[in-house]
Amino acid sequence: MLDLITPHAILPNLKAGSKKQALQEIARRAAELTGQHERAIFDVLLERERLGTTGVGHGIAIPHGKLASLDRVHGLFARLERPIDFDAIDEQPVDLIFLLLAPEHAGADHLKALARVSRLLRDQSICEKLRGSESADAIYALLTQHEANQAA
- CATH H-level superfamily of 7-151: Mannitol-specific EII; Chain A (3.40.930.10)
Asked if residue 145 lies in contact with residue 5, where contact means CB atoms within 8 angstroms, the answer is: no
Q: In this structure, which amino acid lies at residue 32? A: E
In the DSSP assignment, the letter for residue 18 is S
In this prediction, residue 141 carries a pLDDT of: 94
Tell me the average pLDDT of the chain.
93
The residues that are catalytic are 64
Q: Please write the tens of the pLDDT for every residue from 71-123.
A: 999 999 999 999 999 999 999 999 999 999 999 988 788 899 999 999 999 99
Model pTM score: 0.94
Does residue 37 have a pLDDT over 60? yes
In this prediction, residue 41 carries a pLDDT of: 97
Instruction: Provide mean pLDDT across the span 119-137.
Output: 94
Q: With cut-offs at 50, 70 and 90, classify the pLDDT of residue 150.
A: low
In sequence order, what DSSP letters do the residues of 110-151 get, joined into one string?
HHHHHHHHHHHHH-HHHHHHHHH--SHHHHHHHHHHHHHHHH
